[in-house]
Chain A
């Protein structure tokens, strides 16, 4: 290593995160460079301060924590009654037929509604014209509305 290592490289070296070749070159450089050895020792000192602080503030697990964990575990099993029933309903053997029935019911319901609203209708004017033709006193009067098909049939009969 010809140039001085960066601060980032120093930190990576301290944490053993340099590649093997780089690590060896770094060690060689440290042995011959007082400046870099001083920087390295500063970083190592910071790590050691952190560790000693962590050791001095280390605590035992409070007894109450253990009790709360076991209590939560026990209460979760008390809730198994209804939970297991729900889980049983969600099993494929039950859930698939139920889902299929719902799909069929939904389809049939939609189909009947759709046909009801969109059913073909006959214009009311047709019934009025038909009624006028049937009740007319003078069937072939020009003022009467007579279906064209009927008129054609009558004409053909008269010609014979």
Chain B
């Protein structure tokens, strides 16, 4: 295995090529994973950007033969968790007690671009609403197990917990998801 790269080494063509290839092959998947975790377009962009910048800095620590996607998903998961902790400390008082979606008073906000319209439309879907109602830990495990089709061991490595924790979170997440879907009014 190659020695870890010093943080201030000048860039090499290999490093640049590594980033180029990583973005081309895994940029889309990483962005969609970040979007599913955060349920927010702007956050997904930030998470994807920061994750690839970290990949670029630590490119020597990637071991050939291992899954690049698992590696970058782990980075995105940690970044998202850290960001939520930071925001929780900053905006704790602004979170409504019932955790219900906030109603805009007065004029509609300026977010009327097509992408925001798309997000709004998706959030109106029962599955999207139900996913948004899960805890972050439950959502992480559910997406990784059922959408990305990772094994419990791989999820444990990405999320940073034991297999037993993955199993119990997944069971609870599925139970909760079903309950949230069923509790929504059926379209007439």
Inter-chain contact B170/A11, CB cutoff 8 Å: yes
Q: Size of chain A's interface in residues, with CB distance under 8 A?
A: 34
Inter-chain contact B31/A61, CB cutoff 8 Å: yes
Inter-chain contact B27/A87, CB cutoff 8 Å: no
- List, in ascending order, chain B residues with CB within 8 A of A62's CB: 31, 45
Inter-chain contact B8/A80, CB cutoff 8 Å: yes
Within 8 A of A (CB), among B157-186: 167, 170-171, 174-175, 177-178
Inter-chain contact A65/B127, CB cutoff 8 Å: no
Q: A12-B167, A50-B147, A61-B48 are in contact. Are A87 and B6 (CB under 8 A)?
A: yes
Tell me which of A68-76, A113-121, A131-139, A147-155 binds B.
A68-76
Q: A8-B167, A65-B45, A65-B48 are in contact. Are A73 and B147 (CB under 8 A)?
A: no
Is B136 engaged at the interface, CB distance under 8 Å to the other chain?
no
Inter-chain contact A57/B122, CB cutoff 8 Å: yes
Within 8 A of B (CB), among A52-71: 53-54, 57-62, 64-66, 68-69
Is B70 engaged at the interface, CB distance under 8 Å to the other chain?
no
Residue of A nearest to B56 (CB): A73
- List, in ascending order, chain B residues with CB within 8 A of A46's CB: 146, 174, 177-178
Is B69 engaged at the interface, CB distance under 8 Å to the other chain?
no
Inter-chain contact A61/B125, CB cutoff 8 Å: no
Residue of A nearest to B19 (CB): A73
Interface of A is mostly: helix
- List, in ascending order, chain B residues with CB within 8 A of A8's CB: 167, 171
Q: A59-B32, A62-B31, A66-B27 are in contact. Are A72 and B49 (CB under 8 A)?
A: yes
Is A15 engaged at the interface, CB distance under 8 Å to the other chain?
yes
Interface of B is mostly: helix
Inter-chain contact A61/B27, CB cutoff 8 Å: yes
- List, in ascending order, chain B residues with CB within 8 A of A23's CB: none
Inter-chain contact B8/A51, CB cutoff 8 Å: no
The distance in angstroms between the C-alpha atoms of A51 and B8, with both chains bound, is 42
- List, in ascending order, chain B residues with CB within 8 A of A49's CB: 127
Tell me which of B45, B52, B174 contacts A43 (CB under 8 A).
B174
Residue of B nearest to A50 (CB): B146
- Mask, A28-45, CB within 8 Å of B = 1, is 000000000000000100
Inter-chain contact A65/B122, CB cutoff 8 Å: no
Is B64 engaged at the interface, CB distance under 8 Å to the other chain?
no
- List, in ascending order, chain A residues with CB within 8 A of B6's CB: 87
The distance in angstroms between the C-alpha atoms of A64 and B36, with both chains bound, is 19
- Mask, B144-157, CB within 8 Å of A = 1, is 01110001100000
Residue of A nearest to B166 (CB): A17
B positions within 8 Å CB-CB of A? 6-8, 10-11, 16, 19, 23, 27-28, 30-32, 35-36, 45, 48-49, 52-53, 56-57, 122, 125, 127-128, 131, 142-143, 145-147, 151-152, 167, 170-171, 174-175, 177-178
A-B residue pairs in contact (CB < 8 Å), sample of 16 = A8-B171, A15-B145, A15-B151, A43-B174, A50-B177, A51-B146, A54-B143, A57-B36, A59-B31, A61-B27, A65-B48, A65-B49, A66-B27, A68-B45, A69-B19, A69-B53
